[in-house]
Amino acid sequence: MLDADSVYKLSRSLASKIYDEDLIAIRTSNTLLNAVVVLIKKKHVKEAQLVLNVITKLNISPIDLLTKVRIETVK
């Protein structure tokens, strides 16, 4: 299992690589949200909030309702 710092760095790296894409794949948004949950469970709430802030700025597909609900739940 990865430590919290690795999860944070990998999720920020992934987010920066997809930031300018028109639509974000459902798998990608799920991966980033899973990273947020892992960071919260490991009590790294500040890092989780930073990743969540990035996720909310991404262009998530309008049909990806599950991701939108998960974002609101995690907030």
Whether the per-residue pLDDT at 74 is higher than 90: the answer is: no
Show the DSSP H helices in 19-75 as ranges. Answer: 26-41, 45-57, 65-74
Relative orientation angle of helices 45-57 and 4-18, to the nearest 10 degrees: 10
Task: Check residue 9 and give its pLDDT.
Answer: 86
Task: Check residue 23 and give its pLDDT.
Answer: 67
- Give 12-66 pLDDT, tens digit per residue: 888 877 777 776 777 888 888 989 999 999 999 999 999 999 888 888 878 888 8
**What's the Cα-to-Cα distance from 6 to each of 2, 14, 38, 72, rounded to whole Å?**
6, 12, 11, 25
Cβ atoms of 59 and 24 within 8 Å: the answer is yes
This prediction has a pTM of 0.76
